[in-house]
Amino acid sequence: MSVTTDARPFSATLRASTLEVHEKANYSEYMRALLGSELSQDGYTQLAIQYYFIYGAIEAASDAMAGHPVGGEFVFDELRRLPNLERDLAHLVGPDWRSTISPLASTQAYVSRIREASTWAGGYVAHHYTRYLGDIAGGQVIRRTLEKNYDVAEAGALFYHFDEIGSAPRFRDQYRAKLDNAPWDEAERARVIDETVVAFECNVAVFDELATRLDEFRA
d(CA 49, CA 87): 12
201 CB burial (10 A radius; 0-12, 13-18, 19+)? middle
Q: Which residues bind ligand HEM (CB under 6 A)?
A: 11, 15, 22, 25-26, 31, 35, 129-130, 133-134, 137-138, 141-142, 172, 200, 203
- Closer residue to ligand HEM in complex, CB, 60/198: 198
- Closer residue to ligand HEM in complex, CB, 55/129: 129
Q: How far is the CB of 142 from ligand HEM (least distance, A)?
A: 6
Q: How far is the CB of 172 from ligand HEM (least distance, A)?
A: 6
- Closer residue to ligand HEM in complex, CB, 111/142: 142
Q: How far is the CB of 94 from ligand HEM (least distance, A)?
A: 26
d(CA 12, CA 8): 6
Helices (H), 41-120: 41-65, 82-92, 97-100, 105-117
The residue among 58, 65, 119 whose CA lies nearest residue 85 is 58
- Closer residue to ligand HEM in complex, CB, 56/134: 134
d(CA 52, CA 39): 20
Q: How far is the CB of 121 from ligand HEM (least distance, A)?
A: 18
Measured on CA atoms in the order 99, 105, 107, 113, is the torsion positive or negative? positive
For ligand HEM, the nearest residue by Cβ is 138
Q: How far is the CB of 141 from ligand HEM (least distance, A)?
A: 4
d(CA 82, CA 50): 12
- Closer residue to ligand HEM in complex, CB, 56/138: 138
